[in-house]
Amino acid sequence: MKKTIFLIHFIAISLFLQAQDLTQYVNSFIGTGGHGHTFPNACMPFGMVQMGPVTNNVGWDWVSGYHYSDSTVMGFSHTRLSGTGIGDLSDWLFMPRIGGFTLNWGSNEKPFPSWRSRFSHTNEAASPGYYSVLLSDTKIKAEFTATEHCAVHRYTFPASDSAHIILAPSVPIGTYVGSSASIPWSSMKWENDSTISGFRISFGWVPFRRVYMVARFSKPFFTYQMTSGGKPGWLVREKEHNFLIGSVYFKTKEQEQISVKVGISAVSLDNARANLQAELADKNFEQVHTLAVAAWNKELNKIQIQADDSTKQTFYTAMYHAFIQPNNIADVDGRYRGADFEIATAKNGKYYSTLSLWDTFRAVHPLYSIIQPKVNADIIQSMITHQKVAGILPIWTLWGAENYCMIGNHAIPVITSAILTDTKGFDYEEAYTAMKATSTVIHRGSDWDILDKYGYLPKGIVGESVSKTLEIAFDDWCVAQVAKKLGKMADYDFFRKRSESYKQLYNHQTGFFQPRDKNGNWTAPFSPIDARYSNGFTEANAWQYRWSVQHDIPSLVALTGGNAKFEAKLDSLFSMSSEVIGGQRDISGLIGQYVHGNEPSHHVAYLYNYANQPAKTQKWLTKIWTEMYSNQPDGYAGNEDCGQMSAWYILTTLGFYPVNPATGIFDMGRPFVKKAKINLENGKTFTITANNLSDKNCYVQKIKLNGKVIKDYKINFCDIVAGGELFFEMGK
Amino acid sequence: MKKTIFLIHFIAISLFLQAQDLTQYVNSFIGTGGHGHTFPNACMPFGMVQMGPVTNNVGWDWVSGYHYSDSTVMGFSHTRLSGTGIGDLSDWLFMPRIGGFTLNWGSNEKPFPSWRSRFSHTNEAASPGYYSVLLSDTKIKAEFTATEHCAVHRYTFPASDSAHIILAPSVPIGTYVGSSASIPWSSMKWENDSTISGFRISFGWVPFRRVYMVARFSKPFFTYQMTSGGKPGWLVREKEHNFLIGSVYFKTKEQEQISVKVGISAVSLDNARANLQAELADKNFEQVHTLAVAAWNKELNKIQIQADDSTKQTFYTAMYHAFIQPNNIADVDGRYRGADFEIATAKNGKYYSTLSLWDTFRAVHPLYSIIQPKVNADIIQSMITHQKVAGILPIWTLWGAENYCMIGNHAIPVITSAILTDTKGFDYEEAYTAMKATSTVIHRGSDWDILDKYGYLPKGIVGESVSKTLEIAFDDWCVAQVAKKLGKMADYDFFRKRSESYKQLYNHQTGFFQPRDKNGNWTAPFSPIDARYSNGFTEANAWQYRWSVQHDIPSLVALTGGNAKFEAKLDSLFSMSSEVIGGQRDISGLIGQYVHGNEPSHHVAYLYNYANQPAKTQKWLTKIWTEMYSNQPDGYAGNEDCGQMSAWYILTTLGFYPVNPATGIFDMGRPFVKKAKINLENGKTFTITANNLSDKNCYVQKIKLNGKVIKDYKINFCDIVAGGELFFEMGK
């Protein structure tokens, strides 16, 4: 019986995969040009390993280690950040090479190794679970595939008496406040004639980041060296240093392939070994690659669309980018290193990190709530666990540790959304305890004593005072809603009241949120296009933060003076000059003062709905969707930001997006594909049909949910996951 | 009754101190010139804190942070290494300054801060427990004194509206294999208007070195900043970064004094606070200074000599340098961080680190066995504890961790000496277990598998193969002696046999220990003056390592061909050319090929005794004692090496020195003072009298111990600590 079910299941999956190989539409070079900061590496959905090329490791456009404009490669390493504005990771750089036994690195600070090779994009290929490149200078072909915790390297060498593979643990990626991440200590050990193990610790975007590594080579070395401070050490069995390079040597025949299986772990060498054993012991390169493709197809098929190839490429690459992170940093045995850098065991076997929450609370987690509910619940469980150790919920966690990047405490809306939509998978009381602690215990970026004293965050005492006041107000509203749902009415009153603090900063005379000093005076000079941090905003100006009241748009409309004035203000936003004072690199993809390249604007086009002007929402969405995305290397208007740019695109393509991402309510835009099918984890399907859609018929005439007309331009999470059909009648 | 005893005790100490203020003879600038690598800082005997100036932090002659040739100072910091060849420490640099709010550091790699000030030696003073300097550029006087775990700073400012004190945790001292020690992470926190706390971790000579710090200022700041990556951050409450600088600001009147009490800890911030509370809460600068002077006088008075002032200066500075380390790194509550970087509690409340054992096993520990038996026993207990965590006894430990510097495992002779002389204070079986494990478990620098396979360490498989074979043979002999004493006869046989491995490397044709390859061939080319590491020796050549068989000089004499040939070989050593091929900086203080500036030669002048030529021992000692030491900044012939250069001087001044430091037997030289009194911890005294001593009467005519003539030119540890009188009749 069981066998039969398995067989049927297998056939079903096989047929499905044959029918829908969506990985063919993923172009993992999208975002590697411009300022997208993505990478073309081989990886698994939510995996710890992202294996691929490093073309450079310093500079803002190299925080992912790769930029499409480059033509040389310094090596291949195992981990990455996707789309971020700050760099780290790139653990355990390997490089195959022939000829010569002398390595010249340069210095730890300015690594321009002599072993760099040129390459050409015409000899490069990348797809989900696979990356390959031909190194022009040495004629070595390098190919990579990955499991969750491991990589398989396959190098095809020319004939050589001194073919070698370099191992360089000491190459950080990092631009943290202008200085490189530091790897002050690494060690390597020759375990036997085909195994090297090692350890490295780095202090970059987060401190104390440990990566243990075991590498098993398919062919025994004939010699090896470990080098520190520039001095070669032949046959050194074990070495540790702040600048360490090893290399293992082989005699190769023409077109001889040498493969390396590499397991990593944040926990221990034994765990790196166990990860390797569990995921790679009995598999070769092709088998691993096939499994990776299947895993990606499973995720990509969660939404099937009818569209032309270029839209499919943009869409499925967005899906791909949305699932590269968060990363499960727990090993196969469920152990991980937490916020205190100590070893712990994950409750559900998974521990998710790389939580870029200031970005991803907006659209990534709402998207996950629909198509990745299990992952989303496990992420929330990881957040709650983090709070028990760190005292506060994650702000921006990397490799389990907090880096305090950006503002607010936006794990709160993610958890709020899950509780308000009755999501299972974590304890609500535990979650609320964590939310309340985060919102009451003074911590970096959250000066509750000052907020409670003044009723807003005054300029001169707190930096980025306006942005912080606004975003904290939103978080407070979230805490209030959960308090209410759990019957904690005193807490509800406290946080509901504090959630209105943003009103203190609204200057009725100018129509903007503006900084006030501790005496309540509006600080001068003030310009709504001034984006210098000293003006009180975070990576933005007053025009861009004018809309950051996601929890109470009706009040924002009222503050503005009613629907007409609100509409006019939105019109100005989109049509005015794009001049920004103190222009910051994160402010990109401008339409007027609307900034699609950064997150505070992401919900703004949908706000016309709230002034009863849905057609204008649709108009601007058409422009943004068309102009700010493409299937080219510079296909994102700014940093991809851990899935947020992609999640905006995915949801907007389907026709809805959450202005307030904490409620489970999605606001209607317009669909960009004729048909889309969401395959839900509960086995149900939700289909979206856009009748009469064309380039010209880009306005919504009527919306029906399961045959019933929607008039308020909203759809609820519950209606989506219940399965059903959303019907758009399109017209001019 | 108790009160009376206390009073008597107090009077006795007071009288004693009045009678013998020996700190007046300590010139802590000795060794700060040339290549002595000492420092003039304020410290306590064996204390954790050494507080004083940093004139530079890079370069071989700045491993202690100070060189007498300098004329500017970049700040004042809390910890140091004394006399080493590799740098680290210099924790928590402070600098007082006036004028201007902008700090310009340069970069983390090349720190040349704008706040450097000039100074002159004429405005500088240093004595045990005290250092002061007038900063010429700012007219600020900086004074320092210290307890074991804390420092007191006292800055006398001119009138200023912007007097400030800079705190820079990110300034390492380090020359480890050419690169600076790295401080990848530090943090500071403004606790209140007169308290700053902080943390820093460094990876230098040892990794994972943590120093927590609490600083209490005598006057509230009127503002403060914390700066990272060059950007000032006013009123930032808390910050962490890989390059962090803070400063606190005061308005000062003319000659206003601001003092800072600083406590440090390797364990935690709470422990730093507890150290500060315990040692400084109720004491001012003068009180702390007085206690430090008293503590030093107690140690210095353990040997009282009659001599001219310049000899007294050299002698008591040597005593001072001999007791600056090892450092008790346990906090006032007995907790420390051990070899695994974890927190533990010290058995006797003390945990000693800074164990430069390749140097100090030779004379420092034999000296300690006589005048610091309690400290020596606690050091041995610390070593045994270390082995339980690390698997092997310390080789070179710093701040609790192993740096694997130099060769051999010379904790073994230190423990052996203690066991063979029936010293109390640790468990012999535990000690033996640790010694045996160290001598059988393969570890860095000790390839037991290779030694056991070949019967010696072959060149081409192991580096520094001759030096290692010789020094390991000595350690093996020690293990054998302890095994024998504890009745472990199988072990005794094994180690006794292995202790003869050195004979495999004696080339009878050349009369030198030489490298052999794995097939037993002498490797060529060979030159006895070749000091390149590739030749098989450690910081030395074959001439210098020819004598490193301390455990069996009679066999060495026999190998050489008997007394006459041995004497002739020694004559050649002292009289031949000083040319060294591949000259290394550690080879300094040469007389022929005898090298007083480095340790392998230290017992060699005493070897004439073994060829029945004690007069020649005395002759060369006279030359070494006279020429290689002085009371000047360049008063040491090479690195002072954690007390070893000083201990040689102290023992040799008294008239005896241990050729084999593991036995408790001391070999007779000649005394250099007319009278010396050793005040033993057991209350007894041992006096040394040199009758008829003069510059010309520099040869020993007769030696009597308690009236009984000594003929074998040896004196036993037991005879010394029993108290008594050693009488030398001197003549021409």
Q: Does B184 touch chain A (CB under 8 A)?
A: yes
Q: Does A255 touch chain B (CB under 8 A)?
A: no
Task: Among B88, B176, B179, pick the best mutation site for testing chain A contact (most A Cβ within 10 A).
Answer: B179
- Phi, psi at A119, each rounded to 5°: -150, 165
Is residue A649 within 8 A of residue A656, CB to CB? The reply is no
High-pLDDT (> 70) share of chain A, %: 94
A165: how many CB neighbours lie within 10 A of its CB?
Answer: 25
Q: What's the pLDDT band for A495 if we cut at 50, 70, 90?
A: very high
Nearest to A109 among B109, B176, B185 (CB): B109
**The complex's ipTM?**
0.71
Query: Does the distance separating the beta carbons of B207 and A178 come in below 8 Å?
Result: no
Residue window 448-467, chain B: list those with CB within 8 Å of chain A.
461
| Both structure tokens of A649 | 């695109």
Question: Of A171-175, A707-711, B541-545, which gets the smallest average pLDDT?
Answer: A171-175
Q: What's the pLDDT band for B112 if we cut at 50, 70, 90?
A: low
Nearest to B182 among A178, A182, A238 (CB): A182
Pairing state between β B724-731 and B685-691: parallel
Contact residues, chain B, for A201 at CB < 8 Å: 203, 207
Contact residues, chain A, for B202 at CB < 8 Å: 184
Query: Does the distance separating the beta carbons of A179 and B108 come in below 8 Å?
Result: yes
Q: Does B469 touch chain A (CB under 8 A)?
A: no
User: CB within 8 A of B692, min separation 6: which ones?
Assistant: B729, B730, B731
Segment A513-534 shows an average pLDDT of: 94
Question: Of A11-20, A29-38, A180-189, A502-511, which gets the smallest average pLDDT?
Answer: A11-20
- Check pLDDT > 90 for residue A503: yes
B282: how many CB neighbours lie within 10 A of its CB?
Answer: 8
A53: how many CB neighbours lie within 10 A of its CB?
Answer: 25
Q: What's the pLDDT band for A460 if we cut at 50, 70, 90?
A: confident
| Both structure tokens of B233 | 């951050």
pLDDT value of residue B106: 58
Q: Does B342 touch chain A (CB under 8 A)?
A: no
Task: Among A88, A179, A209, A340, pick the best mutation site for testing chain B contact (most B Cβ within 10 A).
Answer: A179
Which residue is closest to A187 within chain B, CA to CA? B207
Task: Among A202, A203, A245, pick the best mutation site for testing chain B contact (most B Cβ within 10 A).
Answer: A203
Query: Does the distance separating the beta carbons of A444 and B238 come in below 8 Å?
Result: yes
Q: Does A493 touch chain B (CB under 8 A)?
A: no
Q: Does B229 touch chain A (CB under 8 A)?
A: yes
Contact residues, chain B, for A202 at CB < 8 Å: 184
Q: Considering only CA atoms, which of B649, B479, B485 is closest in space to residue B551?
A: B479
Contact residues, chain A, for B176 at CB < 8 Å: 242
| pLDDT digit string, tens, across residues B361-406 | 999 999 999 999 999 999 999 999 999 999 999 999 999 999 999 9
Q: Does B485 touch chain A (CB under 8 A)?
A: no
Cα A328 from Cα A346, distance rounded (Å): 10
**In terms of C-beta density within 10 A (0-12 exposed, 13-18 middle, 19 or more buried), how is residue B4 classed?**
exposed
- Check pLDDT > 60 for residue A456: yes
- Check pLDDT > 50 for residue A2: no
Contacts 24+ apart (CB under 8 A), A484-491: A485/A419, A485/A420, A486/A428, A486/A429, A486/A432, A488/A432, A491/A436
Segment A608-617 shows an average pLDDT of: 98
Nearest chain B Cα distance for residue A229, angstroms: 6
- Check pLDDT > 70 for residue B682: yes
Give the 3-state secondary structure percentages of chain B, helix then strand then coil, rounded to 5: 30, 25, 40
Q: Does B100 touch chain A (CB under 8 A)?
A: no
Is residue B133 within 8 A of residue B123, CB to CB? The reply is yes
- Phi, psi at B281, each rounded to 5°: -50, -45
| pLDDT digit string, tens, across residues B632-644 | 999 999 999 999 9
Nearest to A185 among B203, B243, B444 (CB): B203
What domains lie within chain B, and their CATH numbers?
Answer: 31-298 (2.70.98.10), 303-731 (3.30.2080.10)
Nearest chain B Cα distance for residue A410, angstroms: 22
pLDDT value of residue B175: 43
Mean pLDDT, chain A, rounded, equals 93
| pLDDT digit string, tens, across residues B565-588 | 999 999 999 999 999 998 778 899
Nearest chain B Cα distance for residue A448, angstroms: 14
Segment B654-670 shows an average pLDDT of: 98
Contacts 24+ apart (CB under 8 A), A402-405: A402/A206, A402/A339, A403/A86, A403/A205, A403/A206, A404/A444, A404/A445, A405/A86, A405/A205, A405/A356, A405/A358
Higher local confidence (pLDDT), A323 or A102: A323
Higher local confidence (pLDDT), A105 or A362: A362
Q: Considering only CA atoms, which of B667, B556, B552 is closest in space to residue B618?
A: B667
Query: Does the distance separating the beta carbons of A229 and B208 come in below 8 Å?
Result: no
| Both structure tokens of A694 | 């064309």
Q: What's the pLDDT band for A408 if we cut at 50, 70, 90?
A: very high
**What is the reported pTM?**
0.84
Is residue B467 within 8 A of residue B586, CB to CB? The reply is no
pLDDT value of residue B8: 45
Which residue is closest to B242 within chain A, CA to CA? A203
Nearest to B184 among A109, A203, A229 (CB): A203
Q: Does B106 touch chain A (CB under 8 A)?
A: no
| pLDDT digit string, tens, across residues B257-298 | 999 999 999 999 999 999 999 999 999 999 999 999 999 999
Query: Does the distance separating the beta carbons of B179 and A184 come in below 8 Å?
Result: no
| Bridge partners (DSSP) listed for residue A659 | none
A162: how many CB neighbours lie within 10 A of its CB?
Answer: 16
What's the farthest any 2 CA atoms get from each other in chain A? 79
- Check pLDDT > 70 for residue A679: yes
Mean pLDDT, chain B, rounded, equals 93
- Check pLDDT > 80 for residue A583: no
Contact residues, chain B, for A178 at CB < 8 Å: 229-230
Q: Does B441 touch chain A (CB under 8 A)?
A: no
Nearest chain B Cα distance for residue A178, angstroms: 7
Contact residues, chain B, for A533 at CB < 8 Å: none
Query: Does the distance separating the beta carbons of A184 and B229 come in below 8 Å?
Result: no
| pLDDT digit string, tens, across residues B301-324 | 999 999 999 999 999 999 999 999
Q: Does B203 touch chain A (CB under 8 A)?
A: yes
Contact residues, chain B, for A242 at CB < 8 Å: 176, 179, 182, 203
Q: Does B487 touch chain A (CB under 8 A)?
A: no
Q: Considering only CA atoms, which of B507, B523, B606, B519 is closest in space to residue B559?
A: B507
A448: how many CB neighbours lie within 10 A of its CB?
Answer: 14
